[in-house]
Amino acid sequence: MARPSPLDVYALLDKSNCGDCGYDTCMAFATDLLERKIRLEDCTHLMQDKKQQKNLRKLKEITTPPQKPVRIGVGERQVIIGGEEVLMRHQLTYYNPTGIFVEVADDQEDLIDVVKYLTDLKIERMGEALTLDGIALRCVSQNGDSYKDAAKKVVQNTDLPVMLCCLEPEFLIGAAEEIKDKNPALYAATKDTWEKVGTFAVQNNLPIVATSSDLDELMGLSATLQKLGSDKIILDAGTFFGPGNLSITYDNIIQLRIAGIDKENVNAGLPIMGVPAAYWTQTENIKDDNDIWRHKYQEIIMGSIMESIDTSLIVVHTGQKKEDIWALLALMTLRQSIFSDPRVYPAVDPGVYEIGEPGPNAPIFVTSNYRLTKIPVEIDVKGADLDAYLLVVDSEGIGIESAVAGGQFSAGAIAEATKEFKVFDKVDHRILIIPGMAARLSGALEDEADAYVLVGPRDSSGIGSYIKKKWKPEEYMKEYAER
């Protein structure tokens, strides 16, 4: 089915421009609905007016992506997985980043401490807060009461979504009954347990994972659960390691994505999950610390592969301990890159930014308003413990090298920015430090901005040593006066 346009959506709205949804016009609502910034439920007329029910059904039909989304958890930290429209990001964009869940065991002594640590974990990078998406609680004790108690303890100590992982249906249902108001995902429905687990999931409107390493059997499970009444299904085709097995895992995920998104197979058009933590089932191969590190590394490699092909959710083991932050950092930073929107240049507002407490002799660094340029420069200036001004020039959100080549970051644009933001009024000099990649602009910039121009390092990580060796404002201003 072709992707609808805002006009297609607008035609099915009441066109009253009532503003109840927070938008001035129904067309604005239609546009942001397609961009997943809002939900159909935000239109009160659609939801409450019985005359609008036919249009509501049609809107749900045309706006539901070929891979249906599933929500896990409640509140501000609920996670939406799946819901993608394209196989490759460059075809449109990916909307819902891979959910990263960390597994914990119901019988581990430090369960609550680990849960609190994972809940509070936040890393600031490139202007974004990187966090985890959920906790997967495994039934290692093989005791229904212990598992139930652990589930209650987990939700009492976190607002993260929870996935209950237990192949014993009685234990799984018992724990889910205790925390069903938190909308946990149930792992899993198999060919032997689908009826019992699936019925409970449908009765309580909970997301459920269907799992089988046989794709035909998995499609049968999906079809059966849908007939049972479930519309919150997640698919798991298994995660396999060892020679030749990685390719099986990869191929299964790709086949499911192609069947669901490109071929619009309703049984495959659902979120897909993987379990890199399965690598730790090979405990017989652990003989020393080197083997432990090898397990951690291979697990994160698998998680990275899954993120790169837009797997909807992954469950990892490494990351429970603070010393393993590197593993989660690798997954979260990779995800941040993959799930950026290729249609939008990530830009910041142009202007003058103060770093530290700059005085009249503080250096002025010039950069573009591409977010992934401006923020690293700012971080490196702070890291060098410098008090400085950062003049951010409007380069249409394009990085230095490309913007210099394309003319967006030019001598004229920089000179205009110095006037617009009155940067020289803040200091007792007229010295600008431009990026090394923009060195060819220096001569023209001196004329256009009536300034003394220094060419800084090509990489902002060298700013600290550069200033120590090169920053001599009195000497430069003397040269400037003699010109």
Amino acid at position 388, single letter:
A
For residues 189 and 209, is the Cβ–Cβ distance under 8 A?
yes
DSSP for residue 279: G
Q: Which of 118, 119, 173 is nearest to 317 (CA)?
A: 118
Least confident range of 202-206, 280-284, 295-299, 307-311:
280-284
For residues 84 and 290, is the Cβ–Cβ distance under 8 A?
no
Mean pLDDT of the chain: 95
What is the rounded average pLDDT of the residues 442-459? Answer: 97
Round to whole Å and give the CA distance between 299 and 103.
Answer: 13
What is the rounded average pLDDT of the residues 378-387? Answer: 96
Amino acid at position 408, single letter:
Q
pLDDT value for 346: 87
For residues 378 and 355, is the Cβ–Cβ distance under 8 A?
yes
Helix (H, G, I), strand (E, B) or coil at 57: helix
- Element (H or E) spanning 466, and its range? helix 463-470
What's the predicted TM-score (pTM) here? Answer: 0.87
Round to whole Å and give the CA distance between 92 and 89.
Answer: 6
Q: Which two tokens stand for residue 389?
A: 């001004």
Give me the domains of the chain, ranges plus CATH numbers: 6-63 (1.10.15.40), 69-338 (3.20.20.20), 351-482 (3.40.50.11600)
For residues 448 and 427, is the Cβ–Cβ distance under 8 A?
no
What is the rounded average pLDDT of the residues 418-437? Answer: 97
Residue 328 has pLDDT above 90, yes or no: yes
Round to whole Å and give the CA distance between 476 and 431.
Answer: 8
**Beta strand pairing call for 431-434 and 452-455:** parallel
Round to whole Å and give the CA distance between 334 and 308.
Answer: 8
DSSP assignment string, 287-348: -SHHHHHHHHHHHHHHHHHHHHTT-SEEEESTTSSGGGHHHHHHHHHHHHHHTS-TTS--B-
pLDDT class of 1 with cuts at 50, 70, 90 = low
Per DSSP, what are the bridge partners of residue 365?
390, 433
Per DSSP, what are the bridge partners of residue 392?
351, 367
Residue 244 has pLDDT above 90, yes or no: no
Enumerate long-range contacts of 13-16, CB under 8 Å, 24 or more apart.
Answer: 13/43, 13/45, 13/46, 13/55, 13/59, 14/45, 14/46, 14/49, 14/52, 16/45
